[in-house]
Amino acid sequence: MSELWQLSVAQAAQLLADRAISSVELTDACLERIAAVDGQLSAYLTVTADIARQQAQAADRRILSGDAGPLTGIPMQVKDLLCTNGVPTTCASRMLAEYVPVYDATAVARLRAQDAVLLGKGNMDEFGMGSSTENSAFFPTRNPWDTSRVPGGSSGGSAAAVAAGMAPFALGTDTGGSIRQPASFCGVTGLKPTYGRVSRYGLVAYASSLDQIGPLARDAADCALILQAIAGHDPRDATSLPAPTPDYAAALTGDVSGLRLGVPSEYFADGMDAGVRAAVAAAIDQLAALGAEIREVSLPSTEHALACYYIIAPSECSANLARYDGVKYGYSHQGDADMWEAMERTRQHGFGPEVKRRIMLGAFALSSGYYDAYYLKAQQVRTLIRQDFARVFADVDALVAPVSPVTAFLLGDRTDDPVRMYLVDIYTIPVNIAGLPAVSIPCGFATPDDGDTALPVGLQLIGPHLAEDRLLNIAHAYQQATAWHRERPNI
Ligand code: GLN
């Protein structure tokens, strides 16, 4: 048997159900793994070892009583943007460095209702703003495949933890790619559900019309188990969809014959690494060999997606982050002459440079006289992007594309040039703009020009609204036929 920390969720659940292992043993194995390797990776902001052991004991009692759910006793990491009752939730910001929520986010509560075990909180870019986890106010996370490189972001701590065996799965969030891109950089499987599929209650808001919670795990079958637990209507989130939750595990037939898969020509533009292009092309051939029918399609509004996103996301961010005024909660600068100075100093010291850049961009785009030229225009472009997808989904069942034009880059490589950093998300952002589900799965390795370590490449599968079951099945079929998702970093 492999080491306990190497088990997938499904494997661990089987061993727990057979009473071959206990949740305490499994949890201790993950905690030992964290102690052994997180010094090199910094994937965790908080490790809740004592809480985890208590929760594991409770899970073991539940398993013995015969009333376990599919995730009872399974350890998890939760991105630090999600509220956890009694456990610090910093959003990787100095603003919330001392913040301890008094409730769980709905997604966390649903996992805890099954007695999933909280190992700790994942490092991330401050408030989810970034693509490399270098915007964490505390420390960057490193990529387990090459520690001189970033794990991607903003859920970089989650992807690095799953890749390095420091958690069988993690909850991340995706506003413009923050689950899929780090999953691709770290060689794990990540699912961004349809907007509204998973409740955002208790998710600290970045851009409310784009934010969505989803799992990062070792394969698509594990993502199906986790989505099953967290999906579904929640009256506490007005944007949560009342649609029934299908049986995701039952959808994993492994049969993709006859499925029509579209390849958007705009997603293979110049500037893409040759190694990424080759790995994605080979994955598309593999899907064809499994019986899928491949068609070229066009999404002509793709070229406007990044500009559209960088109006809408900062606009929503500037409104959402107005609440951090040093009065109600969070960091509060002391000793100022008056309220205005106190607010100014609080925001000056509490927020990092990228967060300030977004707030300024958003406040400008929303200001009177500019609103029509920027925010309104971006909303119109958003409609065009949605229409592009709606048109192609009349002819194809799903789209196949790269997740990112590049593999994991070196720490510091893009920090001086925000636009170069933003460009990394060019193939993930349109999906959030249209509110669609998408999954990122490992599909090979590529060696970058500036290094000699082969790094993971991700394949993105994009579906129509609420087609998570179809996407997970395509991903599962691919993973049944290939072994890329079983490759592990040597750390
Ligand atoms: N990198 C993108 C941004 O900075 C997306 C981040 C995310 O999905 N949270 O906004």
**What is the reported pLDDT for 125?**
98
Average the pLDDT over 399-428 and give the result.
96
Residue 301 is given by DSSP the state G
* pLDDT tens profile 107-128: 999 999 999 999 999 999 999 9
Q: Which helix (H) or strand (E) holds 78?
A: strand 75-79
Percent of the chain with pLDDT over 70: 100
Which residue has its alpha carbon closest to ligand 1 atom 10?
Answer: 129
Average the pLDDT over 459-484 and give the result.
98
**What is the reported pLDDT for 269?**
84
Distance CA 118, CA 50 (A): 10
Tokens 């964290």 found at: 34
Q: For the whole prediction, is pTM greater than 0.85?
A: yes
- Sign of the torsion angle spanned by Cα atoms 112, 175, 121, 38: positive
Residue 203 is given by DSSP the state B
* Candidate from 193-197, 419-423, 482-486 with smallest mean pLDDT: 419-423
CB 401 less than 6 A from any atom of ligand 1:
no
**What is the reported pLDDT for 69?**
94
The rounded Å distance from CA 326 to ligand 1 centre is 25
* 328 band by pLDDT with thresholds 50, 70 and 90: confident
Mutate to test the pocket of ligand 1, among 91, 171, 175 (most ligand atoms within 8 A of CB): 175
Q: With a cut of 90, say whether residue 71 has pLDDT above it.
A: yes
- What is 131-151 written as a DSSP string? SSSTT-SS----BTTBTTB--
Q: Which residues contact 259 (CB under 8 A, 6 or more apart)?
A: 291, 292, 293, 397, 398, 470, 474
* CB-CB contact of 219 with 8 (8 Å): yes
CB 174 less than 6 A from any atom of ligand 1:
yes
CB 129 less than 6 A from any atom of ligand 1:
yes
CB 183 less than 6 A from any atom of ligand 1:
no
CB 433 less than 6 A from any atom of ligand 1:
no
**What is the reported pLDDT for 490?**
95
Q: Which residues contact 16 (CB under 8 A, 6 or more apart)?
A: 22, 23, 26, 63, 68, 72, 73, 74
Q: Which helix (H) or strand (E) holds 307?
A: helix 305-320
Active site residue 404: no
The rounded Å distance from CA 309 to ligand 1 centre is 10
Exactly one of 79, 136, 155, 315 is catalytic; name it.
79
CB 273 less than 6 A from any atom of ligand 1:
no
Q: With a cut of 60, say whether residue 64 has pLDDT above it.
A: yes
Question: By C-alpha distance, which of 426, 350, 368 is closest to 176?
Answer: 426
Distance CA 94, CA 84 (A): 18
Which residue has its alpha carbon closest to ligand 1 atom 5?
Answer: 176
The rounded Å distance from CA 12 to ligand 1 centre is 32
**Mean pLDDT, the chain, whole residue set:** 97
Active site residue 79: yes
* pLDDT tens profile 166-187: 999 999 999 999 999 999 999 9
Average the pLDDT over 424-432 and give the result.
97
Give the angle subtended at the CA of 201 by the CAs of 210 and 459, to the nearest 5°.
Answer: 40
* CB-CB contact of 185 with 404 (8 Å): yes
- The Cβ of residue 253 has, within 10 Å, a number of other Cβ atoms equal to 9
What one-letter code names the amino acid at 378?
A
The rounded Å distance from CA 211 to ligand 1 centre is 9
Q: With a cut of 90, say whether residue 427 has pLDDT above it.
A: yes
- The Cβ of residue 255 has, within 10 Å, a number of other Cβ atoms equal to 13
* 44 band by pLDDT with thresholds 50, 70 and 90: very high
**What is the reported pLDDT for 368?**
86
Average the pLDDT over 320-334 and give the result.
94
Cis upstream peptide for 154 (omega within 30°): yes
* 38 band by pLDDT with thresholds 50, 70 and 90: very high
* Candidate from 279-288, 320-329, 381-390 with smallest mean pLDDT: 320-329
CB 128 less than 6 A from any atom of ligand 1:
yes
Exactly one of 23, 42, 155, 178 is catalytic; name it.
178
- DSSP 3-state of 161: helix
Residue 379 is given by DSSP the state H
* 2 band by pLDDT with thresholds 50, 70 and 90: confident
**What is the reported pLDDT for 465?**
98
Q: With a cut of 60, say whether residue 1 has pLDDT above it.
A: no
Q: Which residues contact 115 (CB under 8 A, 6 or more apart)?
A: 23, 55, 58, 59, 62, 68, 69, 71, 72, 73
